Amino acid sequence: MGFDQYHEPPEELSPETRTFARMCASLTEEAEAIGWYEQRLAIEQDADAKAIMSDAQGEEFKHFAMDLEFLLRRTPRWKQICEGVLFQDGDIVEHGEAAEAASEDGDSDDESTGAADGSLGIGSLRGEER
């Protein structure tokens, strides 16, 4: 596959952006694999083979979730929009539009706090010196 996850010359990209691009590529691959297993499972007749493929698809679900969490932790606005859409009842498109609008409203706050929820981003202080 070479280095085709990069859309721009890699040498011009920072290490953080290259990692981000790799993880985006990984996320895409996990989603593709989930789709492939879904198709195989739909037509497979052998119960043992089906059980193995189902187990393998579960692995891909996990990989996808880990890739996504990594990317969201490094992208506050993406995380903020996801928080407005994921695991919510109701109309998905409405939630998406509202979450996107809210993220635009909150842009100026985010710049000063560095935390998507408007907090000071203090969190745990374990391991820090007094």
Partner 1 sequence: MNHLLRHLAPISDSGWELLDDEARERLGPSLAARRLVDFDGPRGWRHSATNLGRSGEVEPPADGVSAAQRRVLPLVELRAEFTVSRAELADNDRGAVDADLESLDDAAQRIAIAENVAVFHGWAKAGIIGIAEASPVKARPLGDGAEGYPRSVANAVEALREVGVEGPYGLALGPDEYTRVIETAEHGGYPLFDHLAKILEGPIVWAPGVKGAVVLSLRGGDFLYESGQDLAIGYSHHDAETVHLYLEESFSFVVATPEAAAPLGS
Contact set with partner 1 (CB under 8 A): 83, 102, 105-106, 108-109, 111-113, 115, 117-126, 128-130
Nearer to partner 1, 7 or 130 (CB): 130
Cβ closest to partner 1, residue 12 vs residue 128 = 128
Q: Which residue, 72, 94, 69, 74, is CA-closest to 84?
A: 94
**Distance in Å, CB of 120 to partner 1, minimum:** 5
User: Which residue lies nearer to partner 1 by CB, 28 or 119?
Assistant: 119
* C-alpha to C-alpha distance for 83 and 88, rounded to whole angstroms: 9
> Are 116 and 80 a contacting pair, CB within 8 Å?
yes
CB of 123 to partner 1, least distance (A): 6
Write down the residue that tokens 């506050």 correspond to.
76
Residue with smaller CB distance to partner 1, 53 or 115: 115
Q: Tally the residues of the chain.
A: 130
Query: Minimum distance from CB of 62 to partner 1 (Å)?
Result: 21
CB of 122 to partner 1, least distance (A): 5
Give me the least distance between CB of 97 and partner 1, in Å please: 14
In 10 A of CB 81, how many CB atoms?
A: 22
**Cβ nearer to partner 1, comparing 48 with 105:** 105
88 three-state secondary structure? coil
Token pair of 37 as six digits: 């297993």
Sequence-separated (6 or more) residues with CB below 8 Å from residue 72: 78, 79, 82
